[in-house]
Structure 1
């Protein structure tokens, strides 16, 4: 595969509306998977609420289209209002990958 892009979203959760957050997170992940140019997503959050989500995309255009998706925009606004005390987004071009898988 030629180079592609990663969106790295790091965040700190508040204690507000845990049930609503989980439901929205699942909805948004399912929606992202349907977007043209989506490749995959990986996410983790520790017990203190610090999380990292990395989504992978074929192009910057696909990332821009996802950013302005109406349902995603609603989730972003709710995140600012209720679910995150802060977050940071980085967009990176993946130039090369390699891996190891033991037995």
Structure 2
């Protein structure tokens, strides 16, 4: 599903990852983080694709909202588990969206 975002400007957090073979609660935690993120002030939407490389893009109203989400206690616990169990490599990028456009086929 493609996130419905407002008119720019807004921010995108792009999380790209390569997983380990360890499952150990990954799917449940990922689902919980998506639900929890959606409850945070400034959250605008999320898109995710997972194959060999996982890419999740979350959209936020401002940098303060991103900072608050990164500091959220439950999210920090999930981050720690990601560092030690689930990801062999990951990278997070934060970008300001200045323009967007779309086409919808009927």
TM-score (normalised: structure 1):
0.94
- d(CA) in 2 for partners of 1:35, 1:61: 11
- List alignment gaps of at least 5 residues for structure 1: none
Per-residue deviation, residues 46-89 of structure 1 (Å, max 9, x unmatched): 1x3x1000000000000000000000000000000000001001
Aligned length: 100
Per-residue deviation, residues 10-40 of structure 1 (Å, max 9, x unmatched): 0000001x25000000001100000000000
- List alignment gaps of at least 5 residues for structure 2: 1-6
Name the structure 2 match of 1:67. Answer: 70
- d(CA) in 1 for partners of 2:13, 2:19: 18
Please, which of 17, 38, 43 is the counterpart of residue 38 of structure 1? 43
Name the structure 2 match of 1:89. Answer: 92
Name the structure 2 match of 1:8. Answer: 14
TM-score (normalised: structure 2):
0.91
Structure 1 residue 28 and structure 2 residue 33: aligned? yes
